[in-house]
Amino acid sequence: MRHLLYLLCIFSLLSVMACRKDKQDPGFIGSEQKTAKKKLIRQGQEKEARPKDSINNKNAVAFLNIYGTQHKENKVLIKTRLGNITIQLYDDTPLHRASFIFLTKMGYFNTTCFYRVVPDFIIQGGESERLDTQKYKARYERYKIPPEFRKERRHKYGAVSLARDWVNNPKKYSTAFEFYIVQNRQGAHHLDDEHTVFGEVVSGFDTIDRIVNEEAGSDEWPLDDVFMEIEVIN
């Protein structure tokens, strides 16, 4: 019996260590990161009314192609309590640009915060504990975007990319709702051709540093939420 209990204790310890290592792995940019703090409320949200002419999983590419031709804007301003960040979106990643402009104009990002900060790596935003955030995702069926990899669009310092699922996603589709900004001055080139880079920071690098240095829990979520407001400026 003692031998059995000893083996069970060893197994439990190894399991905990494995979980901790996975949470702290700085090379992972997942979507809808599961954390102890994030208590998502999903019950009943699939009943959220969806406009018939809006985007969904089935029509995402067609919708974004049309939306992109009608909305040519390619610059946004992110406002936070720690300062502002200006982002230039790339015209040669048209689906990702159109999606970001669409969600910005619909007000989605104004319900979210920067929920992951990893010094010398990235800040990640586009999620929150708010019910409104989950309602937006349900309304648009958590649509995904096919990758738009470009040889000249790399994960340099200040690059802006979308997160994605790393399980059951062989084509590397992006999640439309969560994005990250590379804070490491040397870049994060191990993510090249893994995530679509669709923009870059043109001002506000000091704000990025302030955000990434916020005190965070073991789940990398800042203890004091860094909410954002995003507006299209050009």
Query: How do residues 31-88 score in pLDDT, each as one tens digit?
Result: 655 444 444 444 444 444 455 569 999 999 999 999 999 999 999 999 999 999 999 9
The CA–CA distances, whole Å, from 47 to 21, 43, 50, 137, 141 equal 37, 9, 9, 12, 11
Return the pLDDT at 228: 98
Distances (CA, A) of 94 to 144, 157, 187, 230: 14, 22, 23, 19
Domain assignment present for residue 224? The answer is: yes
DSSP element (H, E) containing 79: strand 75-80
Taking only the tens place, the pLDDT of each residue in 136-180 is 999 999 999 999 999 999 999 999 999 999 999 999 999 999 999
Domain-located, residue 123: yes
Amino acid at 198: F
- Average pLDDT of the residues in 219-223: 98
Note whether residue 161 is domain-resident. Answer: yes
User: DSSP alpha helices (H): ranges in 56-129?
Assistant: 60-70, 94-106
Domain limits at 167? Answer: 63-232
User: Within 10 Å of residue 173's Cβ, how many Cβ atoms?
Assistant: 18
Q: What is the CATH number of the domain that holds 133?
A: 2.40.100.10
- Note the pTM of the prediction, 2 decimals: 0.83
| Cα–Cα distance for residue pair 113/227, rounded to 1 Å | 4
Q: How many domains, in total, are found in the chain?
A: 1
Q: Which residues pair with 145 in a beta bridge?
A: 174
CA separation for the pair 79, 228 (Å, rounded): 6
